[in-house]
Structure 1
Amino acid sequence: MDRRTRRIHRSALCLLAVVLTLSAAAPLRPAAPPPRTVSAWLPYWDQEAAYRDALEHAAQIRTISPFWYETKSAGRVDGHPGAGERRIVDGLHATGIQVVPTVMEQLKPGALAAVMTSPAQRATHVKALLAVVRSRAYDGLDLDYETIAPTPEPAYPAVRDGYADFVTDLCARLHALRKQCFVTVTPKTPATGRVWDYRKLGAAADRLRIMAYNMHHAEGPPGPQSSPQWYDTILARATTEVPRAKLEMGLPAYGWDWAEGSKARAKHLTSTEAEALRRKVKAPYALDPDSRTPHFTYKDGRTRRTVWYQDARGTAAHLPVLRKYGVEHTVLWALGFEQPELWGTLAAG
């Protein structure tokens, strides 16, 4: 080895020693936390329990939408009991959770459609909603407007276009205030959801939340809340019209209890209530092979009743469909309804 080669060799060894010394001295950086992919609605009628639930699982939760406001007319938006409670807003913010309250409505048939098809009424309603978002340190608003969903065939194109224009205007105004704009919709399939213009809504909003539940509802015959096949149909359409990163798939943490042979409305049960009832009546646990959701039957006096609900096992069987379509975000209906095991299922994706 000549003198020049020895000098290069010694320099390389010194450099390596410095690198090794610095590496040993430098503290290991903690791994980045997993992304928060779960959002959830917070029911005002069980606000304290739901709030504690949110704090317990804050590391997984991206956004909480307290179910706090109800539209009564174009110019009037009322608060439910406990709406805007600063202790809850501040407490959620302290954990890094966004607070995007939900505005819902239960207007008479045709009333919301009349607002959406009138430019003047739409403008009035946008002002009313902006007053809500300015009233607290909110991060935005979530619109859950459902009474327009069953708009009759002759009227739905005008309502669809009016609602899309309204959302586009509202979202632009919210963005100017540096606020988020979320829109909650029912599933769009070949037979449902025609009133929603997913493309325009998805272009305007930061999140499009699809309520992927109530496949069988309280006024209809017994059956599952959802199924992988139904999710496939929903997402095959949604992902062609809305960027995947903007989609939140709504997951149920509840079920219905029907009286067989009766036209009476089914009883609502949370997932925890349904499982407690199953154990009480000593019904075997059964996961339906088609819908991958649990169900059971029992006798209440002389009445035979059927319960369909969703739990952590069923949700685990549905999540592969979301992965298939590259949809990472979910929104849970609702905090406090779910079994504790569901959070592990959601963390696993």
Structure 2
Amino acid sequence: MPMLWSRGPPLPVSPIGEVEKVLRFAVSQIPPKKIMMGVNLYGYDWTLPYMPGGGWARSVSPQQALEIALANNAAIQYDQKAQAPFFRYRDTRGRNHIVWFEDARSIQARYKLVSRFGLRGVSYWVLGNEFPQNWLVLEDMFVIRKL
């Protein structure tokens, strides 16, 4: 499950290039049909400026991220290299924030890697987080077997 953590500098949670590197190594060591790619169903809201050793970023569901963007009239941007959405906003106390999270586009990019590498499937981290778009993309791209 190639992901970054909330204590470090503000970055995408799982940039597609890093995910691909981990998968490339994994399939060189393990048969692809034995590998399930971990998918994060969360993002991080960092207070800026980032200070090494400072506070933790707040974990947010993809749905919460969208609600924060809407409430703050923040324009959601998309980092093509990382294949990840993000936005900036200022809170009611005047502090600047950056939020990196997942959306339908970023999840679709990760699911394409599952197909490309011939993996067994996906597993989720923080399954209870709201992210209805995920299920639509998943059902559109794969045959779902419920066990």
> In 2, distance between residues paired with 1:338 and 1:322?
22
CA contact (8 A) 1:256 1:268 kept: yes
Of 131, 134, 141, the residue aligned with 1:339 is 131
Q: How many residues align?
A: 137
The match for 1:326 is 118
- Conserved 8 A contact 2:34-2:120: no
Alignment match, 1:278: 69
Determine if the alignment matches structure 1 residue 309 to structure 2 residue 75: no
> Does the Cα contact within 8 Å between 1:251 and 1:330 map onto a contact in 2?
yes
Aligned-residue sequence identity (percent) comes to 28
Aligned to 1:222, the other structure's residue is in SS state coil
Amino acid at match of 2:85: P
Tell me, yes or no, if structure 1 residue 241 matches structure 2 residue 29. Answer: yes
Secondary structure of the 1:294 match is strand
> Does 2:42 align with 1:227?
no
Partner of 1:250: 38
Counterpart-to-counterpart distance in 2, 1:266 and 1:285: 19
Report the Cα distance in structure 2 between the residues aligned to 1:228 and 1:302, rounded to whole angstroms.
32
Residue 212 of structure 1, CA deviation: 2.6
Superposition RMSD in Å: 1.4
Letter in 1 for 2:57: A
Shift of residue 285, structure 1, vs aligned partner:
2.0
Give the number of the structure whose residues are more often helix, by fraction. 1
Cα distance in 2 for partners of 1:338, 1:241 equals: 34
Instruction: Determine the structure 1 residue equivalent to 2:145.
Output: none
Larger Rg: 1
User: Given residue 97 of structure 2, which amino acid in structure 1 is its aligned partner?
Assistant: R
Q: Distance in 2 between matches of 1:318 and 1:287?
A: 15
Cα offsets for 1:73-104 (capped at 9, x unmatched): xxxxxxxxxxxxxxxxxxxxxxxxxxxxxxxx
**Segment drifting more, 331-340 vs 234-243:** 331-340
Does the 8 A contact of 1:251 with 1:332 survive in 2? yes
| Equivalent residue letter for 2:8 | G
Output the CA distance in 2 between the equivalents of 1:307 and 1:317: 19
Q: Displacement of 1:343 after TM fit?
A: 0.7
Q: Which residue of 1 aligns with 2:3?
A: 213
Alignment gaps of 5+ in structure 2: 143-147
Letter aligned with residue 306 of structure 1: I
Residues 196-243 of structure 1 show CA distances to partners (whole Å, capped at 9, x for unaligned) of: xxxxxxxxxxxxxxx2322xx211100101122112101111011112
Instruction: Output the amino acid matched with 1:269.
Output: V
Give the Cα–Cα distance (whole angstroms) in 2 for the partners of residues 244 and 317 of structure 1.
Answer: 18
1:87-122 per-residue CA deviation (whole Å, 9 max, x = no partner) reads: xxxxxxxxxxxxxxxxxxxxxxxxxxxxxxxxxxxx
Q: State the SS of the aligned residue for 1:219.
A: coil
State the TM-score, normalized to the length of structure 2: 0.86
TM-score with structure 1 length normalisation? 0.38
Large movers: runs of 4+ above 6 Å = none
